[in-house]
Structure 1
Amino acid sequence: MSGTPGVSGFVAKLQSTMQLARDMEDQKKLYSYGGVLYPTLLCPEDHLRSLGSFEARQEDIMLVAYPKCGFNWMVGIIRKALARPKGMELESRMPPLIEFFGPELLQVVNESPSPRFLGTHLHPDNIPPSFDTRKTKILVIFRNPKDTLVSFYHFFNNNPVFPSGTSWDNFFSDFMAGDVPWGSYFDHALAWEKRMADPNVMIVTYEEIKQDLSQGVHQICRFFGLDRTNAEIQKISEESTFSAMKQNSQQSHGVMGNVVFRKGEVGDWKTHFTPEQSRIMDEAFSKRLEGTRIGAKLNYQLHCQ
């Protein structure tokens, strides 16, 4: 298994980026591209422009998530599933986000053998079209919007690549308006609603994977055509609990470990939302996602009321 290429160079670059972020003025840390905000240092405009010509392969393993919906957790699960047959330990520090790569690293990716493990936070309309034309298998993970907002808020305030000192009330308003990095949660969800019946797309939720991790691992392996024994699936599941990944986060994500893996709880929104904020989110969900297939899959009534 090839994993994701260029790891050592990327880790060094990431550490350098964190230092640059600490010295950067807050108002320069985000910029707008195509009407969506992005972190300047992680995915500058030349990164996004270069993605238009990216050539996907049918054999690629593609993971998509709106920010803080469980992306890094799922990265760990998939890497363990890829490594398991040979007892390999794939490098886990490098997030396979294609918008982070840039032209130079994309060239390395283009020359890498299959299967390549790739991922993105991009809105479906901004993902390179070759993933669709090549019929690449795409796993999408979503999380209930209230817990997503809480996790995003803490990640935003504890990551130096984003502006510092944002209050909860201000971040709540920005999230509801879609004025946060990678855009509107609801726009992302509605775009994937259109592909719910696509056989090359599998949508899972953070909550269902957390409720039955071994079943989730089994479904993911089957979707990607990874033939794993029941014993292998059980072992992957034991190593992929949120607590196990958080405990290993310093090795897997360095100084960002505790930022990437914070609580991993379902229902943490109840310690943050005011009754009025809960009502506003309920109304937004009702207006935009109630009655949709992805809305039903999110099981909003159970997790958010």
Structure 2
Amino acid sequence: MAKNRQHVAEFMDKVMVDGANMRKEDTYFSYKGVLYPTALCNPETLQALESFEARMDDVVLAGYPKTGTNWLDHILSSLESAATKYTEEEMKQRIAIEKELALVPRLEFGDPEMCKRLNKYPYRRILLTHLHPHALPTSIFKNKAKVLVLIRNPKDTAVSYFHFSNNLFFLPTSTWDQFFTDFMNGKVGCGSYFDYVAEWDKYVNDANIMAICYEELKEDLNLGLKKIAKFLGFSLTEEEIKSVAEKSSFKAMKEKSSETHGSFGDTFFRKGTVGDWKSLFSEAQNQEMDRRFEECLAGTKLGVKIKYDTYCKV
């Protein structure tokens, strides 16, 4: 939505305060077989989402945790603002409405009344989510909202998720070996990475759904932005694409992270590199991940797109 993220920072700071005294056994709850962090989600909100009405002009950004959704959120907001060419007054009005409605940074976060507040938002909505397709409102697919699915290689995703979890005091800390086992068994927030990618693989040929890789954005951000803009029907000049790319580098995002994500800033924007998995994976863990990828995703459309041999083999 609007590029100002003060309301997001305030929400995340409140989560940190509310989660400070949470008992370890209350860290997660299970909803339809998937774990969710109690400090961010609740079952009533997930249930309310089932009747949420998506709009045809909605843009949904779907990605498993730690695949780069915060980065791509900034990119999408910048592309939409550049394409729509809002005046300064219009931007101020959008930001004021977002703050008044107390919008949250993920579709599944916050209280059950969030859905009703979202319905009052008068502009194009960019809706972020970590939910698996089966848990999303069916209206997203029925009403042909545009869905951008972000994927990232599983080894870097696991390592980034490990550091992220250990930096949030309302989630239980663990050793890398413990976290790796939980990740491989889907015993982390938002469930199994492999199930997530495999389920989205069934949708990628739909005209209103596009998949893009974190790695391809890192390789050539300008080209990635052009693909996204074309998919979303945004008419942008080369100069506008270049401007968004320059403002969306990892360095630029990290420098502004305290403004955009409050005390979560450094946690969200840690390294932003490709290949960081080599710092933690043992040979046995490499082999286990290689086997699981081969069993679950190799040969699928998204599995091929991930370029596993390029990014996940020594």
Tell me the CA shift for residue 16 of structure 1.
2.5
Give the corresponding residue for 1:244: 252
- Check whether the contact 2:154–2:193 (CA below 8 A) recurs between aligned residues: yes
1:73 to 71, 74, 88: 71
Structure 1 residue aligned with 2:211: 203
1:127 aligns with 2:139: no
- Aligned counterpart for 1:159 among listed residues 168, 193, 198: 168
Encode CA deviations 1:120-169: one digit per residue, 9 max, x unaligned. Answer: 00011101000000000000100000000000001111113312x21110
Shift of 1:45: 0.9
Q: 282, 285, 301: which is aligned to 1:293?
A: 301
Residue in structure 2 matched with residue 260 of structure 1 by the alignment: 268
* SS state at 1:114 partner: coil
Structure 1: distance between partners of 2:45 and 2:192 = 21
1:11 CA drift (Å): 4.6
- Corresponding residue to 2:32 among 14, 27, 34: 34
Matches within 5 A, 1:152-231: 152-163=161-172, 165-231=173-239
1:277 aligns with 2:285: yes
1:140 aligns with 2:146: no
Per-residue CA deviations over 1:188-212 (Å, capped at 9, x if unaligned) read 1111111121110000000001100
Letter in structure 2 aligned against 1:79: S
Per-residue deviation, 1:8: 6.2
The verdict on how the C-alpha distance between 1:161 and 1:226 changes in structure 2, with shifts beyond 3 A counting, is farther
How far the C-alpha of 1:9 sits from its partner, in A, is 6.1
Q: Is the 8 A contact 1:28 1:40 kept in 2?
A: yes
Query: How far did residue 17 of structure 1 move?
Result: 2.2
- Partner of 1:15 in structure 2? 13
**Does structure 1 conserve the Cα–Cα contact (< 8 Å) formed by 2:6 and 2:260?**
no
Aligned pair in 2 of structure 1 residues 103, 226: CA closer, same or farther (>3 Å)?
A: same
**SS state at 2:105 partner:** coil
Corresponding residue for 1:59? 57
Is 1:97 the equivalent of 2:95?
A: no
Higher relative contact order (Cα pairs below 8 Å, separated by 6+ residues): 2
The alignment status of 1:235 with 2:233, answered yes or no, reads no
What's the % identity of the aligned pairs?
A: 41
Structure 2 CA distance, aligned partners of 1:168 and 1:40? Answer: 22
1:86 pairs with 2:83: no
Does structure 2 retain, via aligned residues, the 8 Å contact 1:4–1:96? no
Number of equivalences: 302
Separation of aligned partners in 2, 1:11 and 1:266? 26
Superposition RMSD on alpha carbons, in Å? 2.0
- Whole-angstrom CA distance in 1 between matches of 2:208 and 2:154: 25
Give the TM-score, by structure 2 length: 0.91
Q: Structure 1, residues 84-121: CA drift from partner, whole Å, max 9, x if none?
A: 22365686997631101432222111111131111100
Question: Which moves more between the two structures, 72-81 or 111-120?
Answer: 111-120
Q: Which ranges in structure 1 are unaligned for 5 or more consecutive residues?
A: none
Assess if the C-alpha contact under 8 Å between 2:27 and 2:38 holds in 1. yes
User: Distance in 2 between the 1:26 and 1:297 partners?
Assistant: 38
Q: Deviations over 1:15-37 (max 9, x none)?
A: 22211211111111111111111
Flag structure 2 segments of 5+ consecutive residues without an equivalent: none
